[in-house]
Chain A
Amino acid sequence: MTTIERPAGSDNALQRPPAPGALDDHSSVRRPSLWRRYTRSRALGWTLVLALLAGWQVSSLIEYVPTISSPALILETLVTDLVGADRAGGDLLWALLDTLRTMSIGFVIAVPLGIGLGFLMGRVRVIWALLEPLVEIIRLHPTTAILPILILFLGLGDPMKITAFLITAIFPLLMTAYAGARSVSPTLKETAQTFQLSWWRTQWEIALPSSVPYILVGVRQALGSSLLMAVVVGMLSGNSGIGFYILEAQQSLNIRSLLAGVVTVAAVGYVFNSIFLAAEKRFTRWRKTDMAP
């Protein structure tokens, strides 16, 4: 987990109980002030981000340094490169869509494959014995090191990119699904036994749901690594995608496009993470840590 969840209002629990004899005085248990809530929520951090941007903008207005550009100019480039001159979509948009397309295909294949294999390795000893050495050998290689091999055998097109995304995403999913499958409590397994659940039923109704919190961690890791790979693949294969857009901007010394590309990658990462957090909240409502106050 990389972001630190701190739900608003959690300070209520930390407030001191009213002193004895002051029970009628409700002022001591009233809602914290707006200022207090603001200074303890993410809004404070966003204010810092805005302040830094404002500082950057102001400094560029005082003395413009082309190598660091300015937020306003980067935004302008971002919009024109996204929307395009004739509103048909700019280079950046197409590069981004191309990357997201191959990334999604790789991810969609990796999710059932990685979770399925990892889960079965955790539940069936024979499958574990068969696959564990192979998984360990491949897993420890950074995908970036395998990339030249992929390019050699699959060329520079979609098959190579999809395979790269598949390999990147599959291992975090596999490892966490394995850990989740191993973590099923013996008491739960015996509960299933006393209710005469078949092996398949036990996996489906007991082992898989109790692995969900682990698997979600894997999905999140896989998303993060895939985004990293998205940039690397574009730069190494050098024909399309967001990585190529950034590389091209750098090689033509187009600082504004370069930074626009970087901002886009960051924004995509942020959106992924937000979607993921919402999904996680939905799937793990039952966990005590996510309980509403």
Chain B
Amino acid sequence: MTPVTITSTERAHALDGEIRLVGAGKSYLTADGRTVRGLAPIDLDIEPGSFVAIIGRSGCGKSTLLRLAAGLERSTSGVVLIDRSTITSPPASVRYVFQNFGDSLLPWKTVLDNVRFGVRHAFAGTRAAGRDAQRELATSALAEVGLTGIGDRYPSELSGGMQQRVAIARALASHPRILLMDEPFSAVDALSRANLQDLVLKLWQEHALTVVFVTHDVEEALYLADRVVVLGADGAGILADITVDLPRPRAQIGTRENPRFLELRRAALDLVLG
């Protein structure tokens, strides 16, 4: 396999956004006192500015991996480092996009106020952003995800795809270095999903973000990522680390018809279904 075509050297200005899992794993204690493996200790280095997809069957620990990286869960073994420092709680440079967008947006706040909520708290310490500046940041983040003129509406008035766009805008507005996405488009219809995938690719490139994208959809993973990490069943750990040497920019039809795409798809599906 040829090396990754887009590397961090192209984004030399993006010095941070590095994720390292060193022997990081998670086990749970059940109610009857048994220990259940959520994720076996794994080593994973994610370069700044890269796009990594995590795939695997349900219960393979892919969400656990993402939650460890987000600081939403403490690892029971090893450490998680974001930009070379160990994390114990969610760091400010990391934003998380949840699968169930309906529960992640504040339903009592308008779309604009939801995004402003993110801005307000991200810059809470600095006090740099005044009310007008917050408003401006929120409005431009909404425009970036293709939402204009709906700032006054409530999340419940929007379609699923639009709600997830709002959640992405909220994450983006606080200028994160790392975007962690947990099956963000699994509850969105197929056509909206294609648009959202291209939106994420655009934002990743324009903002030089590090994106870790969890999905159960092998094609989605290959279409988006530089690297696809396949996790083994029942939290067994990393099964394979596939380098996706497909040219960029990717195109919904062209890329998916690329013989190399089909080749990678076969290999990845073999591993997942194995």
Q: How far is the CA of A234 from the CA of B98 in the complex (A)?
A: 56
Report B59-115 residues with CB < 8 Å from chain A CB: 70, 72, 89-90, 92, 94-96, 98, 100, 103-104, 106-109
Contacts of A205 in B (CB 8 A): 106, 117
Contacts of A186 in B (CB 8 A): 103
Q: Are B156 and A191 in contact (CB under 8 A)?
A: no
Report B98-142 residues with CB < 8 Å from chain A CB: 98, 100, 103-104, 106-109, 117-118, 121-122, 124
Q: Are A194 and B108 in contact (CB under 8 A)?
A: no
Q: How far is the CA of A195 from the CA of B71 in the complex (A)?
A: 12
Across the two chains, which residue of chain A brings its CB closest to B70?
A194
Q: Are B89 and A188 in contact (CB under 8 A)?
A: no
Interface residues of B, CB < 8 Å — how many?
A: 26
Flag the segment in A13-21, A23-31, A214-222, A281-289 that touches B.
Answer: A281-289
* Contact digits for A189-219, partner B, Cβ 8 Å, 1 yes 0 no: 0110111110001000110011010000000
Contacts of B124 in A (CB 8 A): 196
Check if B154 is an interface residue, CB within 8 A of chain A: yes
Q: Are B154 and A185 in contact (CB under 8 A)?
A: no
Q: Are B106 and A206 in contact (CB under 8 A)?
A: yes
B110 to chain A, nearest CB (A): 8
Report B134-187 residues with CB < 8 Å from chain A CB: 154-157, 174
Across the two chains, which residue of chain A brings its CB closest to B109?
A286
Check if A34 is an interface residue, CB within 8 A of chain B: no
Supply 11 further A-B pairs (C-beta < 8 A) apart from A195-B117, A196-B92.
Answer: A185-B103, A186-B103, A187-B100, A191-B96, A191-B98, A193-B90, A195-B121, A201-B121, A206-B106, A209-B108, A286-B109
Q: How far is the CA of A187 from the CA of B167 in the complex (A)?
A: 12
Contacts of A134 in B (CB 8 A): none
Q: How far is the CA of A57 from the CA of B202 in the complex (A)?
A: 76
Report A136-170 residues with CB < 8 Å from chain B CB: none
Neighbour of A196 across the interface among B100, B104, B121, B156, CB < 8 A: B121
Contacts of A194 in B (CB 8 A): 70, 72, 90, 94-96
A179 to chain B, nearest CB (A): 17
Could you show 7 A-B contacts with beta carbons less than 8 Å apart?
A: A187-B98, A187-B104, A194-B70, A196-B90, A209-B106, A286-B155, A286-B156
Q: How far is the CA of A184 from the CA of B108 in the complex (A)?
A: 13
Q: How far is the CA of A185 from the CA of B104 in the complex (A)?
A: 9
Across the two chains, which residue of chain B brings its CB closest to A206?
B106
Contacts of A209 in B (CB 8 A): 106, 108
B212 to chain A, nearest CB (A): 14
Check if A291 is an interface residue, CB within 8 A of chain B: yes
The 5 tightest CB contacts between A and B, nearest first, are: A187-B103, A195-B121, A288-B156, A185-B103, A286-B154
Q: Which of B94, B100, B106, B157 has most A Cβ within 10 Å?
A: B106
B153 to chain A, nearest CB (A): 10
Task: Using known A-B contacts A187-B98, A288-B156, determine if residue A193 contacts B72 with beta carbons closer than 8 Å.
Answer: yes
A121 to chain B, nearest CB (A): 22
Neighbour of B118 across the interface among A195, A201, A287, CB < 8 A: A195
Contacts of B90 in A (CB 8 A): 193-194, 196
Contacts of A288 in B (CB 8 A): 156-157
Neighbour of B154 across the interface among A188, A201, A212, A285, CB < 8 A: A285
Task: Using known A-B contacts A195-B117, A196-B121, A285-B154, determine if residue A188 contacts B72 with beta carbons closer than 8 Å.
Answer: no
